[in-house]
Amino acid sequence: MSKKIDLKMAIKRSSSDKKQEKLPRQRKNKSPSPQNNQKESQEILLSREIKEDLAQNEEKIRPHQLKDYVGQKDLKGVLNIAIMAAKQRDEPLDHILLYGPPGLGKTTMALILASEMGVSCKITAAPALERPRDIIGLLVGLQPGDILFIDEIHRLNRVTEELLYPAMEDKRLDVTIGKGQSAKIRSIPLKPFTLVGATTKIGSLTSPLRDRFGLIQRLQFYELDELTEIVLRSANILNVAIDQCGAQEIARRSRGTPRITNRLLRRVRDYVQVKGKNKIDQVLASEALDLHNVDRLGLDWTDRLVLSTIIEQFKGGPVGLDAIASATGEDSKTIEEVYEPYLLQIGFINRTNRGRIATPEAQQHLKI
């Protein structure tokens, strides 16, 4: 039997998806053809975030080369060396873990790495890798040097994670075939590849997984001048006229986050267009962002709700995350991963082992 067929069988049989195996006969007959199966799994690979991005024309303003990636000097320095060294040796990049709050450019960097290395990038997210065959199919389909980008990598299930260990370390998949005492492990060789993982929660990664990354890099919030540069760059791509002060006003209210910068720019563009003006300046940018309830530090309605809840209902804290979540009606994960990092960064919240505290600066800002 040829190697190709062996491999196919291994992939097919490796699925330990119990639901699938326990399906009643009738349902099983109706199960999709292998082609449909493949199509389905391809579809789930396009994470929700990417679909939204596409819908919003985000791809147009996403930088595609390292030279267009604004800021993150340390990260770019490290990756530039890694790219040059790998190219000189004609080897794939080492596995890279990127972590940091949402919207700082992790996915963008993974795509840039692929384009700089001249390879393809397969994008997926941990929640889409539900069954062993999902990750096996992806790994087996990679060409030499390709990048596999796994977003939200802290959410991998145990089986998928364990399949990744030998894949990352020895370019090998260990697939269990059969069940119980007759179960056998078969090794499938893989082509050399680079795994780029992204996470907003590095602390939730298991150490065996974390330790298999050769480069672990944190993305920082962006400085005002960097965000201003991003506004000017995006405005240019979107064909929107803007002056320096207008760009700074948008940058100042962007919470150190390029995704927010681009979102605010679009809102200001709408405002300016409807007001019949042809150039964004500081006054128009302020008016538009005030209208959207984004204050002069970039805090929105939910940020202010979180802060005022800690200050007013819990006397400034310390208060646990779950208590804040139920008092505000927000999901505790969203508060922890989306809102809190910036409030911590600007010193409006402190984290103690007894819970969160709102600082006097937060009180001053909210005038409570």
Ligand X SMILES: Nc1ncnc2c1ncn2[C@@H]1O[C@H](COP(=O)(O)OP(=O)(O)OP(=O)(O)O)[C@@H](O)[C@H]1O
- Interacting residue ranges for ligand X, rule: CB under 6 A: 49, 58, 61-63, 69-72, 102-108, 151, 198, 200, 230, 258-259, 262
Active-site residue, selected from the candidate residues 62, 107, 194, 257 = 107
For residue 223, report the phi and psi dihedrals to the nearest 5 degrees: -80, 165
Q: Min. distance of Cβ 263 from Mg ion in angstroms?
A: 15
- Interaxial angle between packed helices 244-252 and 224-238, expressed in degrees from 0 to 180 and rounded to the nearest 10: 120
| Residue 47 site contact among Mg ion, ligand X, none (CB < 5 to 8 Å, cut-off depends on kind) | none
Q: Which residues bind Mg ion (CB under 5 A)?
A: 106-107
What are the tokens at 201? 């929660």
Gap between the Cα atoms of 98 and 118, Å rounded: 20
Is the N-terminal amide bond of 318 cis, ω within 30° of 0? yes
Gap between the Cα atoms of 195 and 97, Å rounded: 8
| Residue 228 site contact among ligand X, Mg ion, none (CB < 5 to 8 Å, cut-off depends on kind) | none
| Residue 199 site contact among ligand X, Mg ion, none (CB < 5 to 8 Å, cut-off depends on kind) | none
Q: Min. distance of Cβ 152 from ligand X in angstroms?
A: 8
Q: Output 333 or 354, the one with its CB closest to Mg ion.
A: 333
CB-based closest residue to Mg ion = 107
| Residue 61 site contact among Mg ion, ligand X, none (CB < 5 to 8 Å, cut-off depends on kind) | ligand X
SS3 call for 138? helix
Distance between terminal CA atoms of the chain?
76
* 334 a catalytic residue: no
* 151 a catalytic residue: yes
Active-site residue, selected from the candidate residues 200, 257, 261, 359 = 200
Active-site residue, selected from the candidate residues 62, 108, 124, 151 = 151
Residue 353 DSSP label: T
Gap between the Cα atoms of 67 and 112, Å rounded: 10
DSSP secondary structure of 252-320: HTSTT-HHHHHHHHHHHHHHHHHTT-SSB-HHHHHHHHHHTT--TTS--HHHHHHHHIIIIISTT--B-
Q: Output 123 or 173, the one with its CB closest to ligand X.
A: 123
Q: Output 154 or 252, the one with its CB closest to Mg ion.
A: 154
In the chain, % helix, strand, coil (3-state, to 5) comes to 55, 15, 30
Whose tokens are 């790219």? That residue is 83
* 200 a catalytic residue: yes
* 8 a catalytic residue: no
SS3 call for 213? coil
| Residue 58 site contact among ligand X, Mg ion, none (CB < 5 to 8 Å, cut-off depends on kind) | ligand X
Q: Min. distance of Cβ 151 from Mg ion in angstroms?
A: 5
What are the tokens at 47? 């994470």
Q: Min. distance of Cβ 320 from ligand X in angstroms?
A: 25
Q: Output 136 or 264, the one with its CB closest to ligand X.
A: 264
CB-based closest residue to ligand X = 105
| Residue 105 site contact among Mg ion, ligand X, none (CB < 5 to 8 Å, cut-off depends on kind) | ligand X
Q: Min. distance of Cβ 203 from ligand X in angstroms?
A: 15
* 279 a catalytic residue: no
Residues with a known catalytic role: 106-107, 151, 200, 259
